[in-house]
Amino acid sequence: MGVFGFFSWECAVCGKSIRAFMQSEESAWFNECVVKRADGVLKRGRYDGYGGVYVYNSNEVYEILEHEKEPKVYHAYCFDKWGDRPEFDHPSKEAEDQGFFSHPHNYCVSPEESTKHIRLHSLD
């Protein structure tokens, strides 16, 4: 992964990028994320577009690439709804749009609209 300029990952659940903080109000939920560390500890906050997460209720900026070889990154909405399911416990892919360069209509949608394509596998 390149480390100059904007970069990001795809959410391990819905496949859409974790967005940089400079987005519209409608797409703010794409910026709220959860990083699942290799030891299982969760870091929840807002993504800065350059690899850092401003952790809620803390002064910490969690630099993902400094700590994670294979980051597992999720939109907070997606993690809260589906993140505990084993089929979503995998490293995130690099985001082609770098978490920033995408047509606004791709991200000016509700979380429900954006994730309606998700089909869950039965765990039975």
Per-position b or e across 61-94, b if 16+ CB within 10 A of its CB = ebebeeebeebbbbbbbbbebbbeeeebeeebee
At 40, list the tokens: 């299982």
Q: What are phi and psi of 94, to 5 degrees?
A: -65, 140
Q: Would you state the pLDDT for residue 29?
A: 87
Strands 32-36 and 42-47: antiparallel
Q: Would you state the pLDDT for residue 97?
A: 84
Task: Give the Å distances, CA to CA, from 92 to 27, 39, 58, 59, 107.
Answer: 20, 16, 25, 25, 19
Q: Would you state the pLDDT for residue 99?
A: 77
The count of other CB atoms within 10 Å of the CB of residue 96 is 11
Which one-letter amino acid corresponds to residue 64?
I
CA pair distance 3, 28, nearest whole angstrom: 23
Q: Would you state the pLDDT for residue 123?
A: 42
Q: Which mean pLDDT values do the consecutive 10-residue runs of the chain (124 residues) have?
A: 73 90 76 93 93 93 91 94 88 86 62 69 42
Report if pTM > 0.85: no
